[in-house]
Amino acid sequence: MVEQHYHPVLGSIGWSALLALIPILFFFYALAIRRMKGHVAALWTLLLAIADAWLIFQFPLDKALSASVYGMLTGLWPIGWIVFTAVFLYKITVKTGYFDIIRRSISGLTEDRRIQALMIAFSFGAFLEGTAGFGTPVAVAASMLAGLGFNPMYAAGICLLANTAPVAFGAIGIPITAMATANHVDPLLISQMVGRQLPIISLIVPFWLMVVMSGWKGMKEVWPAALTTGLSFGLTQFLVSNFIGPELPDVAAAIVSLICLVLLLRVWQPKSVWRFKGEPMAAYETAATLEKEQQLSFGKLFHAWSPFLVLTVMIVLWALTPVKKLLGGATQVFNWPDLNMAVAKHAPITAKLTPLAVTYKFDILAATGTSILIAAFITMFICRQSLGDWFRTMWETFLELRFPLLTIACVVGFGQLFNYSGMSATMALALATTGGLFPFFSPFLGWLGVFLTGSDTSSNLLFGDLQKLTAQQLHMSPYLTMGANSSGGVMGKMISPQSIAVGTSATGLVGREGELYRFTLKHSIALVLIVAIITTLEAYVVPGVIPK
């Protein structure tokens, strides 16, 4: 049995932690400075982490390779399976034209740019984040706003700002379920913790967007719309995340906030229609033209939205305990070779020598991704797509996602290697020296991770165990700090190089990435500070809100 080494360099926790940081610092350099493609940077980082674990932390090479492969397969199933099936369903609606009907149903309701931003960037963007995630919300919503006549910089910037609170529950809750799977904790408890942090941000962000677009005076003109959107979204997000789980908070909150905003617009409209300075007349007449010339019946709208309603029903069905038990009979569980019970943690991480059980679960029927695949199959009939086109769309989705899936696999492999080699424990022991200040700084760790990786999922996989171990060292609830990693991480989404690239590509701003980065940076820092304050208050002022 191999015991983890926590002080391999000169017996110093500081120097050891610094050397454990080498792969992370390289990842930052590869993405932010060298601007490598995500999958290339992740692959090189994984190889560097293997060398670091073997040469510095004295982790046997065979076990380092085994831990990496284990993590990569975990990244592909169940994590990658969810990503693939969710994007596949979304692409079916795009291919068949039903998504265009959804887009038209939203854009034809109001001429005011501020309310359009609330509907498309915030609520509809959250819906896309909840169903597809991984860059889809910014790409789709920003192109929609630009098509409606928004200033391109604001179209991209507003969507990046809006795509914050929903991200922690994006892609059917994958950031939280991935962290729970990798760290062997209860995903519902993490969901509850995040659901007691982010709803506050969900209430603030709509007002924030209005101030950014039109100043304080402009925000006051549409405060009823901002309050309706933020309150309905935040309340639904809280209820679903706390009482159902991490899969549906975004989908449910987005639908509820859209409905509430539409109902409000039937009885209230802003006194003046706000548009961008110097905006051409033709641009702000677009929404009115759509409304007049492309009237959509309730039946047609229901038909267009029904694939996502089916998706919601299937996910809820798969979350029911009787269904889980029934489908779980086909689950295969394997003891992972050369790793299961072959590596042990010890003091001060654990009270006594503790061998680590390492199993791999292949739940082909019970996996959430399988429920989404079934929803995608039903969608084929709803959207009147032929079986041949359905398979062609599936293949196109795979080709489109092959590199993102490789990125996820490598990042999860890197995260698992960090866990089993003891490198994350070493960093946890170093971070534990911050003592009582750690709840304040824990969201910044997630923020840094999302900046580096462009993904709250990847950040949670990189730092979830680190947050857990540090909290345990400080005798705090690991769910507080793991939740803070996800909640703080989403504020780094708007400044990650990948997100900036998506935003500029969707709005014709390629080459102006620096401008967009400057547009979002100050908001990113301000919002993560708010999360840090919330986390600190939960730790020391209202600890009763922390789930147990």
- Which pLDDT value is given to residue 73? 92
pLDDT of residue 292: 47
Name the pairing type of β-strands 359-362 and 354-355: unpaired
Q: What is the pLDDT of residue 193?
A: 95
| Amino acid 248: pLDDT | 87
Cβ neighbour number for residue 292 with a 10 Å cutoff: 10
Low-confidence ranges of the chain (pLDDT < 50): 282-293
What's the pLDDT at 287? 47
Q: What is the pLDDT of residue 313?
A: 87
What is the reported pTM?
A: 0.75
CA distance 414 to 261: 43
pLDDT per residue over 376-431, tens digit each? 999 999 999 999 999 999 999 898 888 878 887 888 888 889 889 989 888 888 87
Q: How many structural domains are present in the chain?
A: 1
Helix then strand count (H, E) for the chain reads 27, 5
What residues are paired with 542 via a beta bridge?
none
Burial of 235 per CB tally in 10 Å (0-12, 13-18, 19+): middle
Residue 511 sits in which domain range?
Answer: 2-545
Counting Cβ atoms within 10 Å, is residue 245 exposed (0-12), middle (13-18) or buried (19+)? buried
Q: Are 63 and 85 in contact (CB under 8 A)?
A: no
